[in-house]
Structure 1
Amino acid sequence: MFDFLRKDVVLDTDDAGLRRLTHERLKVFTKFTADNCPVCEMLGPSFARFADDEAYEGILFLRLDADQSPVARQLMNERAAPFFVSYCQGRVVECDTRHTEADVEAQLARLRALMPHTA
């Protein structure tokens, strides 16, 4: 029931879950995938490995099927899968297509280093 609270889980969700979780959690890193996408498949193991890495313990990792997500379909008009979205305090911080593990790790490191606003 509370699997999304464990740091080593990549949670598969939908648009409603994405909206809820990005507001419930301080930092969220989301991978939007598509069927028959070789780059999506290639980056899958590294995405799971990052989710299990203690360095990223405070970040929730989500995965959405771009073909099943209206939000993703809208983003796909400008980008190709896989694309990664970093959220902090419910807001999009960064969103872009990534083709290599190093690119994904760099975006993730920027999210990790981001200091949240305090009111």
Structure 2
Amino acid sequence: MAVIDANDINFEKLLKTNDKVVVKYFAGWCGSCRLFKPKYKRLANDERFEGIAFLDIDAEESPNARALAGVNNLPFFAIFKDGKLVEGGPMSKEDAVVELIEKLK
């Protein structure tokens, strides 16, 4: 599945229309965020995670979505199930992100 660009306008709707969601919060100035982008795209297309929606949110442009997950550092990853936050945290290691996503299975 492709990575979906999300923002404050469509975030709530995306949470309601997808049972399982992983969100990457980033900022344009964040070097670690840019480095993780191809890894995130690869994870979104990984068949292990079929049925999980992968969202990308610019944390600086979407304060409401940022607040919903309690973003305090970037890059920040959060998982949602049935519209509710399950877990989230700042991380830049692919293994840690995979471990987080696997909690949605």
Same fold (TM over 0.5): yes
- Alignment of 1:92 with 2:85, yes or no, is yes
Compute the displacement of 1:73 (Å): 4.9
Compute the displacement of 1:104 (Å): 0.8
Whose Rg is larger? 1
- Alignment of 1:35 with 2:23, yes or no, is no
Matched residues, percent identical? 34
What is the root-mean-square deviation of aligned Cα atoms in Å? 1.3
Give structure 1 stretches of 5+ with no counterpart: 1-6, 113-119
Which residue of structure 2 aligns with residue 83 of structure 1? 76
TM-score, with structure 1 as normaliser: 0.81
Q: Contact 1:32–1:72 at 8 Å: present in 2 too?
A: no
Runs of at least 4 residues of structure 1 off by over 4 A?
none
* Larger RCO of the pair (alpha carbons < 8 Å, separation 6+): 2
- CA offset digits 1:43-66 (Å, max 9, x no partner): 111110010011111100000101
Q: Contact 1:27–1:89 at 8 Å: present in 2 too?
A: yes
TM-score, with structure 2 as normaliser: 0.91
- CA offset digits 1:50-93 (Å, max 9, x no partner): 100111111000001011011255434xx111101100001000
